[in-house]
Chain A
Amino acid sequence: MLRATDLTKAYGEVQALNGADLSVAPGQVVSLLGRNGAGKTTMLSIIAGLLRPDAGSVELGGIDALAKPEAAAKLLGIAPQDTGIYTVLTVRQNLEFFGELSGMDRATRSARAVEVADRLGLGPLLDRKGGQLSGGETRRLHTACALVHAPRLLMLDEPTVGADVTTRLQIIEAVRDLAADGAAVVYTTHYLPEVVSLEADLVIIDNGQVLATGTQPELIEQHRISGVQFEAAGELPDSLTSGQGLEVTRQGPDRWQVLGDIDMAQLLEYFGDGTARLRSVESLQPDLETVFLAVTGNRIDDESLDEEAAATDIEEGARA
């Protein structure tokens, strides 16, 4: 459905994309993972025709999207990162407008508006003005506006930032349904549990380059790490800190991580008589976070996760 090849884009001296590729098949959900500034939004903007690349090609449903943007646009729905709706229009009017903008006739867009609203839990709010919606409802309407013309490629740029739990679940459910209906989906997020929940395939991007692609099990297998995490009072045994092939990292006042060829039983051996100082021990489980860390050498935007969690907490508190 989508084949973007060798995309290159520079903003002055900043190389936002440097030969990045992205392919998505019908029915496939691809999660574009990367830190802030990795090049995700630039890539989506180029595919959506909002930016011209310095080099590269974009083929959408067999159409050269750079040469025929208008034809390609009919196949594509994008919900940009910033929430954009018409606050003085009702939910229905917002949805119908974006349907009309895509060339849908009155009857089709009217029916489709109701269908999409229902899918995202906005059915009872169809005649409410955009400005009277809660943050989560606004976010859902923002997403719904990208779905209304039934695009064959849907691109959602961090669709759940600041969203409440209900909104997250409804958006994820809608994405799953769309993919099941055969749409190709590109989904960027910092929130890894969503990627797991979507069972999305991964494209990891950093510094404008695609560093890894594959299914979640494939990448987890490729970047399997072994080691233990534990909490222990006092100093660590010298034999452990100087153990060959072991990488010991302090993660908190009493919390440690040891990467390398070590399991829980071996850790106990290192502590010997001092095992009483151990409060907890767990094996390191490879997951998307560890994959991302292994591929990019960075964690995925801790700051964003904290802000996002805080925003969710605040909103849930307000609702309660």
Chain B
Amino acid sequence: MTAALAITKLQLRIIRNDPWFLLIMFLMPLVVMPLFVKTLGLGLVASGFESASGAEVVVPGQVVLFGFFVGGSVGFALYREHGWKTWDRLRASAAPSRSLLAGFAVPWTVIHVAYQLILFLAGGLALGLRFNGGSPFALVLVAVGYGACIVALVLLVSASFRTINQVNAFQNVGAMALGGLGGALVPLEQLPGWAQAIAPVTPQYWAMRGFRGVFLESASIVDVLPSAAVLFGTAAVLSLLAARRFRADETKEFFA
């Protein structure tokens, strides 16, 4: 636990010393969100949500889309240790592999969840996103589930791949393809039938379903439990797989 805690604090300190990536990840969706509000708002009205502004799907969509990059940064952080040649120094502490992994997973899950919540807050301030009777606790529950799920997914990918380029490629394709399929780019009901059919295999689908429930359908904690259960369950399975697959003594290649 000592090593996990030390590495957790290290990750947070590194971000504090070099916050530019996160700042850009905050600014990007704030620029993109207003571009889609009106169009997607019309779609929601046409779907029967007469008082919807569009922010109810645009903000969660951008949170889910860009959140994948933020949560996925755990892979970059892990590989960066190899690039900085500090990985062996961490290993020399003799911390078990699972402690090392936890030292990366925990802070990046926390950062991912905080990122989502701050973006929702910004969406409220900038685009008038309101709960409309939905539960803030339900929002937090889904955000934590999504945060844990994405971090676990990218940890599994990072444990399985050998180079940072492979991890980056997965992140880029994963964010767009899984996000698109999950309804983060356009609302699910506007996707083709085949996409709607396979959407539930993506964590993004369950996150979007939970978030939309909170903002469009006044969902309570109980209402979002199915989404949260899938997200937490998937996170648990992916974490176990990542822990099984992860080998601390495996060589990873950062940028040459």
Contact = CB atoms under 8 A, between A and B. Distances in A.
Interface of A: 48-51, 69-70, 72-73, 76, 78, 80, 82-90, 93, 97-98, 100-103, 129, 145
B92 A48 contact: yes
Contacts of A48: 92
A145 B92 contact: no
Given A101-B6, A103-B2, A84 B86 contact: yes
B13 A89 contact: yes
Contact of A80 (B7, B17, B88, B96): B88
A101 B93 contact: yes
B244 interface: no
Contact of B6 (A69, A76, A100): A100
Nearest to A129: B17
A102 B249 contact: no
B17 A97 contact: no
Which among B3, B13, B18, B94 has the greatest number of chain A C-beta atoms within 10 A?
A: B94
A171 B3 CA distance: 27
Contact of B85 (A69, A82, A101, A103): A82
9 contacts: A70-B95, A80-B85, A82-B85, A84-B84, A86-B86, A87-B84, A100-B5, A101-B7, A103-B2
In order of increasing CB-CB distance, the 3 nearest A-B pairs are: A73-B94, A84-B85, A69-B94
A80 B5 CA distance: 23
B63 to A, nearest CB: 27
Contacts of B13: 89, 93, 97
A93 B6 CA distance: 12
Most chain B C-beta atoms within 10 Å of own C-beta, residue among A80, A82, A90, A97? A97
B38 interface: no
Contacts of A83: 85
Contacts of A102: 93
A72 B14 CA distance: 29
Nearest to A80: B88
Given A84-B86, A85-B84, A49 B91 contact: yes
A82 B84 CA distance: 9
Contact of A86 (B3, B6, B10): B10
B201 interface: no
Contacts of A100: 2, 5-6, 9
Given A51-B249, A80-B85, A83-B85, A89 B14 contact: yes
Contacts of A70: 94-96
B232 to A, nearest CB: 30
A49 B94 CA distance: 7
A83 B93 CA distance: 17
B220 to A, nearest CB: 42
Contact of B92 (A76, A86, A87, A88): A76
A100 B14 CA distance: 15
Nearest to A78: B92
B42 interface: no
